[in-house]
Amino acid sequence: MPDDRDSFDDFGDRPRRRRPDAELDDEPRWGDERDDYDDEPSRRASPEDRVRGPGTSLIVVGWVGVAATILALAMALAIGLSDPPPQHELIVNIVIGAFLGVISLGYFGVIAAGGHQMVRCRRYGLAMAAAVMAIASVALIGLCSFVILPFGIWAVVVLGQADVRKAFERPRTAYD
């Protein structure tokens, strides 16, 4: 039987051969303290980089919500004018639709503004409010907003990190 186990000798009857390039190899080995990637701060993204993704997604969600609200209001108005209900129902429908439309425009506007401030690492309270509002949209708007939920959770998780909170507290220059 050929002896091809010399580098995997578990019995200890002969010394293990060392690889010739072992001293040059900088890769961490099993059991090495350096194998944990998050121990080195140089490999971890900066707080500004980590807020960019969820902040941008909140901006997109906010503007898509604003556009969808305007589209829904225009469609409701077009349907109401093409086949008008009785006069008293038309007035009630217009008032309720306008009220809900203004609330929805403001709601999605705050989400977009909070996402913009999150990308810039400014106004932590507004950024956190936008993230929580994105999560709460499931309860307020309904099942169609489950698409928004992961972005809100992502933003809350990133905003909850201590170094991200400190990045929001740093003084900014006049042009920033």
pLDDT digits (tens, 9 = 90+) for 69-79: 999 888 888 88
Structural domain for 66, as ranges? 51-169
Residue 20, domain member (yes or no): no
Indicate whether 127 belongs to any domain. Answer: yes
Between 112 and 40, name the one with better pLDDT: 112
Whether 43 is in a domain gets the answer: no
Q: Does some domain include residue 104?
A: yes
Tell whether 62 is covered by a domain.
yes
Does residue 23 surpass a pLDDT of 90?
A: no
**DSSP strands (E only) in the chain:** none
Measure the CA–CA gap between 13 and 24, rounded to whole angstroms.
28
Residue written as token pair 């807020």: 51
Distance separating alpha carbons of residues 131 and 107, to the nearest angstrom: 12
**Confidence (pTM):** 0.68
Q: Is residue 22 part of a domain?
A: no
Q: d(Cα 124, Cα 136) in Å, to the nearest integer?
A: 18
Could you tell me if residue 16 is inside a domain?
Answer: no
> How far apart (Å, rounded) are the C-alpha atoms in residues 170 and 105?
31
- Please check whether residue 136 lies inside any domain of the structure: yes
Count the domains in the chain: 1
Q: What is the mean pLDDT of the chain?
A: 79
Token digits for 144?
Answer: 């169609």
Residue listed under structure tokens 């305007």: 70
Give the per-residue pLDDT at 87: 77
d(CA 126, CA 115) in angstroms, rounded, equals 8
Residue in the block written with tokens 């992502």: 154
- Interval 77-111: pLDDT, tens: 888 778 777 777 877 878 888 898 899 999 999 99
> What sign results for the dihedral spanned by CA atoms 119, 173, 168, 66?
negative
Average of per-residue pLDDT across 58-68: 93
* Torsion sign across C-alpha atoms 120, 125, 126, 131: positive
